[in-house]
Amino acid sequence: MEVSKQELEYPQMLLNYMDGFMISKTMFAACELGVFDLLLEVGGPLSSNAIAERLGTSADGMDRLLAACVGLRLLEVKEHQGEVLYSNTDLSQMYLTKASPRTLYYSVAYYSHTIYHCFSHLTDAIREGKSQYERAFGISSMELFESLYRSEEEMLKFMQLMNSIWNICGKDVVTAFDLSTFTNIFDLGGCTGAIAKECISAYPRSRVTIYDLPKVVEMAGRYFVSPDEERITFHEGDFFKDPIPDADLYILARIIHDWTDDRSLELLTRVNKACKPGSGVLLIEALLEEDRRGPITTQLYSLNMLVQTEGKERMPSEYLKLLESAGFKDVQIRKTGKIYNVIFGRK
């Protein structure tokens, strides 16, 4: 693609890319300090000094942070009787406050505490082709989910991250295919139960079992799934080692992208063995375009899979090949128009 003469004279795009991490960190800092939560709580505009005082920060630092948030369209500013006052935009109120039902606060927190540090070692990750937990957090080689869950606090933060995107894309992924004929559904690596909740709300006859590691099941029961959800149950196990019980649909959301082709094939073959004829498998994943031109979000996520996991993001043709090698047929793909898409296969 040719750039315009004007762009060659003044490379605005490159300048924007250089600033990218500052934009991220500015938004993260405003979230972490509680700027958006405070403005929601107060319910009206506040001066920079008042915000600094309430949040216990320097006045000068807060003044600059708020100015940058206005530039990023995360806050609104107005002058009233000589005083400069700040308030939330609709977008920050809906997505950046902790208690909002559509909050991305926990995604922001995980990006800021974990992903950001892994990405400071991106160059090394690419040289070596492996995750950067050792460098970023000083922990020596452990199994993937042992490093992701290196403390109870970190496990909870990861679970909150996993949970939060389904506030935005959950309904789309469970309704991309009509799943109403499947009543006994297993969500392998089902984590916080976000997908399970979407399923039972979209399909009144379905029951969903969340299959995950024992520690995760314990946390999910404690923090995420209410015991009143009669149609959601738990099953503790390791999907690489322990039996996979009977079901008529197996959902694997963001599971295959954590693993190498070999491990993915091993897992999908185990799932295929557990399937009866007619049973299905539903993969929920971000998808790369076959022509390698995008989507940029998924291309960046694939780099994140490199710095954080053993896996990668894949193209539809790669998922098709994995599923067919594992014994699935009639593979169909549906795009949702959002980050995550859906791949359905049958035994």
For the question of residue 113 being annotated catalytic, the response is no
Among residues 271, 274, 273, the alpha carbon closest in space to that of 282 is found at 271
Residue 157 touching ligand ASE (CB under 6 A): no
Select 119 or 250, whichever has its Cβ closest to ligand ASE. Answer: 119
Q: CB 240 → ligand ASE: shortest distance, Å?
A: 15
Residue 164 touching ligand ASE (CB under 6 A): no
Nearest-angstrom CA–CA distance, 99 and 164: 12
Q: Which of residues 265-304 bind ligand ASE (CB under 6 A)?
A: 301, 304
Give 306's Cβ-side CA count (13 Å radius).
18
Interaction partner, residue 238 (ligand SAM, ligand ASE, none; CB < 5-8 Å by kind): ligand SAM
Q: Which of residues 218-237 bind ligand ASE (CB under 6 A)?
A: none
Q: CB 1 → ligand ASE: shortest distance, Å?
A: 25
Helix axes 59-71, 48-55, angle to 10 degrees: 120
Nearest-angstrom CA–CA distance, 46 and 39: 7
Chain centroid, CA 172 distance in Å: 15
- With contact defined as beta carbons under 8 Å apart, do 97 and 80 qualify? no
Interaction partner, residue 191 (ligand SAM, ligand ASE, none; CB < 5-8 Å by kind): ligand SAM
Interaction partner, residue 308 (ligand SAM, ligand ASE, none; CB < 5-8 Å by kind): ligand ASE
Helix (H, G, I), strand (E, B) or coil at 193: coil
- With contact defined as beta carbons under 8 Å apart, do 75 and 66 qualify? yes
Q: CB 115 → ligand ASE: shortest distance, Å?
A: 6
Rg (CA), the chain: 22
Interface ranges with ligand SAM (CB under 6 A):
145, 162, 189-191, 194, 212-213, 216, 238-240, 253-255, 258
Select 69 or 179, whichever has its Cβ closest to ligand SAM. Answer: 179
> What Cα–Cα distance (Å) separates residue 347 from each residue in 200, 202, 316, 326?
23, 24, 19, 9
Q: What is the dihedral of CA 26, 31, 36, 37, to 10 degrees?
A: -160
> What Cα–Cα distance (Å) separates residue 45 from each residue in 40, 97, 316?
9, 16, 48
Q: CB 190 → ligand SAM: shortest distance, Å?
A: 6
Site track for ligand ASE across 234-263, x = CB under 6 A: --------------------x--xx-----
Q: CB 259 → ligand ASE: shortest distance, Å?
A: 9
Residue nearest ligand SAM by beta-carbon distance: 189
Nearest-angstrom CA–CA distance, 223 and 158: 13
Interaction partner, residue 253 (ligand ASE, ligand SAM, none; CB < 5-8 Å by kind): ligand SAM
Strand residues in 17-82 grouped as ranges (E): 46-47, 75-80
Select 63 or 177, whichever has its Cβ closest to ligand SAM. Answer: 177
Q: CB 75 → ligand SAM: shortest distance, Å?
A: 30
Nearest-angstrom CA–CA distance, 299 and 302: 5
Interaction partner, residue 170 (ligand SAM, ligand ASE, none; CB < 5-8 Å by kind): none
Select 45 or 311, whichever has its Cβ closest to ligand ASE. Answer: 311
Q: Judged by CB under 6 A, which of 97, 131, 309, 341 binds ligand ASE?
A: 309
Residues serving a catalytic function are 257
Binding site for ligand ASE (CB under 6 A): 115, 254, 257-258, 301, 304, 308-309
